[in-house]
């Protein structure tokens, strides 16, 4: 994950690369391969005499350089084996006896061969051309020290080093803990004393190689002091800030009004301005490719040529003001000098380029600020939670589209914020984003598969295949928990089944019942109803659950008629097979019922309960009293007429007080589809309606006559026969007190 984050950071570096207004104020004098070759006849092989660097320092000061910083360590005094310092001092003592006129050429010669001459010139130039900053390098890390304590500097050496670096040291506040080192390589003592300051040039790459962080301060030993880097000191000198005025506070290093943000380990994200490797340069064999930078590189030999031309009063190759008011860094791009580093822009970036970027960032006040703790963790957790929520909220296709778009938008936002110097984590939030979505989607798929398996087991035998597939396709529309909704319920029962089962062996009655129930269930499933249960020979079915059906009452009535037709076909088949024939009674009611999973914690059934269910159950046996086949309630009849008015023929049978109910119920007979009712039967129904109205008004004589008329038209009409007989009894006994035309159900 960290590797991925570093790669996205490198991509953002390259995307946002751009010079600042201070980039042109930094010039790099380059000790490159070509300079080393071209100056070899004059100064010999590298390293060059120290006086060359001293000459350069004086020249830069004379040309108006604001700061000169050497990214080269002059750690030891020059020593020559052919003539020691003692011998040279003896020669100087002896030539004092030579007359002055003959002594000057000898002194000049001795001065040239003096091994300390180069050091003295460099020290003198460093002191005179202030501010000149020299480099040091800290080594023996904490981990190396723990492995081998002998690597640390001796106490006397450590005290000496601290004495030399004392002017630069900065008191560290509590909690500010930059890396600790236990040894250091410094410029030789006279040069360190002459320098404006000495700063470390430690290169601290990330685990994958590139350098993305710099440490403004490093610790030496156990003391609570930090020692600034060459880059920080150069920027401070350019701003006119002395080393003792540099301060450290928790989370930042202060250079006047410039605050360098640092992390808990004291590191700052380098705000690289840009650069890349593109091709060969000046024919240098060691310089594999050409590093194109926003900073101005001037080869060392070109600067010396400029000095030579100016000394001869000739125009040199460089503009007169090329170093004026500039921060001048002297460093190397020669591969042989081992100062090529990896950065987000190239695997072989000159180390001096890193210093230039840090100085540029400080001068331009452009600092990368990472999201502080604990916000990255909050961002990761938040991204994971939101992604998981989206996984359960959207379908896989829509969810994937949304997650990809939002993930891309976050990446775009992170890239945009980087151009505004804000570093938001990308890898971890994106990984949490997509992983949580994937995990959530897998969990959702597993859950849906389990739910589909449960639904298939629960409804597979009770729903039509088309409805079952739709329920499985859109499981979000399926609610199995108990809920109240309008349902149409159908109860059917075989007439006289108990006596029939007494006359037929159990095996035969079981076969007959199975075939009958199969046909009846097929009728229920044909209208997308749900088989609730079998109660012996009775069938209980309902509509508008679990799937919503606007025409649930119509479907129930269609099913009832289909069941009668199917039973007719079955009876004809059984008649030919010499099997007993069956007849059924059906009751249908519509109303608010509670539907859902019900039962114990071990056995659950999807069913309906409620008063309206009981009403449907009472309507089925009411057929026996009226001699009818299909009875429905007023609610069912009204629901059917609302959806498909005139399709079915309903005959009003009066207000009936069902067993167990106090309030009477208006009951209708479903006679069939209106188009299939014969004219003679319609005439009988119309006469029945008139007779029933007379009966309800208490006009018993007129009612008897009208019911007799119905029976003359249709002798087998059960309701007319029932009401005629009922009216005849009332004629004998008289109307009861408070007559309201309500008929009591005799039995369940």
Q: What is the pLDDT of residue 594?
A: 94
Q: Give the model's confidence band at 186: pLDDT under 50 very low, under 70 low, under 90 confident, else very high.
A: very high
β-strand 743-744 against 648-657: which pairing, if any?
parallel
Q: What is the pLDDT of residue 284?
A: 41
Q: What is the pLDDT of residue 245?
A: 94
Instruction: Judge whether residue 116 has pLDDT over 80.
Output: no
- Rounded mean pLDDT, 183-188: 95
- Answer with the residue of higher pLDDT: 590 or 476: 590
Lowest-confidence pick of 10-24, 477-491, 611-625, 666-680: 477-491
Mean model confidence pLDDT for the chain: 87
User: Which residues neighbour 518 within 8 Å (Cβ) at sequence distance 6 or greater?
Assistant: none
Instruction: Judge whether residue 529 has pLDDT over 50.
Output: yes
- Rounded mean pLDDT, 168-175: 91
- Rounded mean pLDDT, 392-416: 86
User: Which residues neighbour 516 within 8 Å (Cβ) at sequence distance 6 or greater?
Assistant: 494, 537, 567, 570, 582
Instruction: Judge whether residue 99 has pLDDT over 70.
Output: no
Please give the backbone phi and psi of residue 529, each rounded to the nearest 5 degrees, phi first: -85, 170
| CA separation for the pair 533, 547 (Å, rounded) | 18
Q: What is the pLDDT of residue 521?
A: 93
Give a three-class secondary structure readout of 718-743. Answer: HHHHHHHHHHHHHHHHCCCCCCCCCE
Q: Give the model's confidence band at 94: pLDDT under 50 very low, under 70 low, under 90 confident, else very high.
A: low
- Rounded mean pLDDT, 231-238: 96
Instruction: Judge whether residue 650 has pLDDT over 50.
Output: yes
Strand-pair partners of 328: 27, 68
- Rounded mean pLDDT, 386-413: 85
Q: What is the pLDDT of residue 491?
A: 97
Q: What is the pLDDT of residue 110?
A: 45
∠ CA(168), CA(170), CA(175), 5° rounding? 155
| CA separation for the pair 213, 270 (Å, rounded) | 5
List helix spans (H) across 44-96. 50-62, 85-94
Q: What is the pLDDT of residues 719-737, one digit of tens each?
A: 999 999 999 999 999 998 8
> Of 36-45, 193-202, 378-387, where does the model show the most confidence?
193-202
Q: What is the pLDDT of residue 285?
A: 37
Q: Give the model's confidence band at 87: pLDDT under 50 very low, under 70 low, under 90 confident, else very high.
A: low
Q: Give the model's confidence band at 689: pLDDT under 50 very low, under 70 low, under 90 confident, else very high.
A: very high
Lowest-confidence pick of 156-165, 335-344, 488-497: 335-344
Q: Are 273 and 17 in contact (CB under 8 A)?
A: yes
Q: What is the pLDDT of residue 147?
A: 94
Instruction: Judge whether residue 83 has pLDDT over 80.
Output: no
Q: What is the pLDDT of residue 430?
A: 85
Among 417, 419, 394, smallest CA distance to 405 is for 394
Q: What is the pLDDT of residues 537-587, one digit of tens each?
A: 899 999 998 888 999 999 999 999 999 999 999 999 999 998 899 999 999
Q: What is the pLDDT of residue 373?
A: 82
Sign of CA dihedral 500, 502, 504, 506: positive
Percent of the chain clearing pLDDT 70 (strictly above): 88
Distances (CA, A) of 6 to 166, 344, 690: 36, 9, 93
∠ CA(708), CA(712), CA(717), 5° rounding? 80
Percent of the chain clearing pLDDT 90 (strictly above): 57
The number of C-alpha atoms within 13 Å of 739 and in the hemisphere containing its C-beta is 14
Q: Give the model's confidence band at 281: pLDDT under 50 very low, under 70 low, under 90 confident, else very high.
A: very low
- Rounded mean pLDDT, 506-520: 91
Instruction: Judge whether residue 320 has pLDDT over 50.
Output: yes
């Amino acid at each position: 994950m960290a590797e991925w984050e570093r790669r996205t950071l490198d991509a953002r570096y390259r995307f946002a690369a751009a010079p600042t207004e201070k980039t042109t104020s930094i010039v790099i004098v380059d000790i490159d391969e070509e300079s080393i070759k071209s100056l070899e006849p004059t100064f010999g092989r590298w390293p060059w005499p120290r006086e060359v660097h001293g000459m350069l320092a004086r020249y830069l000061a004379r040309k108006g350089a604001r700061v000169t910083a050497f990214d080269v360590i002059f750690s030891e005094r020059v020593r020559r084996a052919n003539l020691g310092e003692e011998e040279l001092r003896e020669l100087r003592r002896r030539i004092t006896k030579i007359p002055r006129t003959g002594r000057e050429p000898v002194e000049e010669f001795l001065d040239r061969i003096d091994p300390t001459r180069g050091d003295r010139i460099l020290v003198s130039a460093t002191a005179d051309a202030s501010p000149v900053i020299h480099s040091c390098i800290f080594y023996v890390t904490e981990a190396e020290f723990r492995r081998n304590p002998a690597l640390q500097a001796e106490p006397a050496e450590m005290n000496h080093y601290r004495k030399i670096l004392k002017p630069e040291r900065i008191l560290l506040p509590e909690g500010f803990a930059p890396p600790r080192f236990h040894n250091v390589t410094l410029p030789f003592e006279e040069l360190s004393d002459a320098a404006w300051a000495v700063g470390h040039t430690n290169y601290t790459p990330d685990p994958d190689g590139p350098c993305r962080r710099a440490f403004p301060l490093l610790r030496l030993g156990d003391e609570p002091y930090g020692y600034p880097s060459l880059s920080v000191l150069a920027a401070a000198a350019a701003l006119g800030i002395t080393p003792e005025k540099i301060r450290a506070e928790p989370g930042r290093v202060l250079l006047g009004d410039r605050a360098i943000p640092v992390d808990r380990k004291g590191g700052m994200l380098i705000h690289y301005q840009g650069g890349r490797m593109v091709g060969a340069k000046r024919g240098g064999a060691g310089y594999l490719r050409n590093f194109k930078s926003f900073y101005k590189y001037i080869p060392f030999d070109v600067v010396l040529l400029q000095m030579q031309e100016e000394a001869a009063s000739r125009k040199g190759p460089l503009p007169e003001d090329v170093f004026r008011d500039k921060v001048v860094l002297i460093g190397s791009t020669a591969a042989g000098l081992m100062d090529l580093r990896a950065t987000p822009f190239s695997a072989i970036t000159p180390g001096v380029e890193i210093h230039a970027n840090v100085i540029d960032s400080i001068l331009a006040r452009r600092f990368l600020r990472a999201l502080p703790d604990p916000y990255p963790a909050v961002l990761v957790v938040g991204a994971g939670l939101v992604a998981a929520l989206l996984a359960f909220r959207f379908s896989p296709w829509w969810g994937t589209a949304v997650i990809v778009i939002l993930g891309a938008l976050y990446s775009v936002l992170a890239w945009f914020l980087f151009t505004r110097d804000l570093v938001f984590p990308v890898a971890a939030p994106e990984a949490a984003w997509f992983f949580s979505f994937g995990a959530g989607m897998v969990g959702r798929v597993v859950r849906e598969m389990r739910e589909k398996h449960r639904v298939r087991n629960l409804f597979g035998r009770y729903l039509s295949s088309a409805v079952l597939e739709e329920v499985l396709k859109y499981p979000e529309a399926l609610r199995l928990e108990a809920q109240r909704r309008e349902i149409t319920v159908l109860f059917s029962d075989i007439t006289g089944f108990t006596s029939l089962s007494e006359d037929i062996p159990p095996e035969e009655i079981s076969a007959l019942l199975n075939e009958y129930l199969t046909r009846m269930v097929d009728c229920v499933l044909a209208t997308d109803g749900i088989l609730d249960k079998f109660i012996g020979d009775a069938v209980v079915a309902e509509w508008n659950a679990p799937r919503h059906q606007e025409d649930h009452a119509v479907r129930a009535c269609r099913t009832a008629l289909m069941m009668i037709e199917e039973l007719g076909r079955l009876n004809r088949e059984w008649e030919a097979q010499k099997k007993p024939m069956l007849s059924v009674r059906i009751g249908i009611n519509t109303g608010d019922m509670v539907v859902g999973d019900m039962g114990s914690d071990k056995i659950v059934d999807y069913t309906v309960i409620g008063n309206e269910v009981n009403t449907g159950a009472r309507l089925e046996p009411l057929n026996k009293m009226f001699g009818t086949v299909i009875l429905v309630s007023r609610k069912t009849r009204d629901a059917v007429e609302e959806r498909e008015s005139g399709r079915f023929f309903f005959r009003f049978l009066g207000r009936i007080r069902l067993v167990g109910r106090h309030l009477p119920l208006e009951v209708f007979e479903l006679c069939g589809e209106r188009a299939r009712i014969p004219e003679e039967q319609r005439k009988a129904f119309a006469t029945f309606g008139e007779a029933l109205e007379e009966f309800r008004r208490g006009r018993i004589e007129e009612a008897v006559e009208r019911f007799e008329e119905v029976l003359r038209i249709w002798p087998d009409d059960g309701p007319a026969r029932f009401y005629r007989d009922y009216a005849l009894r009332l004629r004998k006994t008289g109307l009861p007190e408070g007559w309201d035309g309500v008929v009591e159900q005799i039995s369940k």
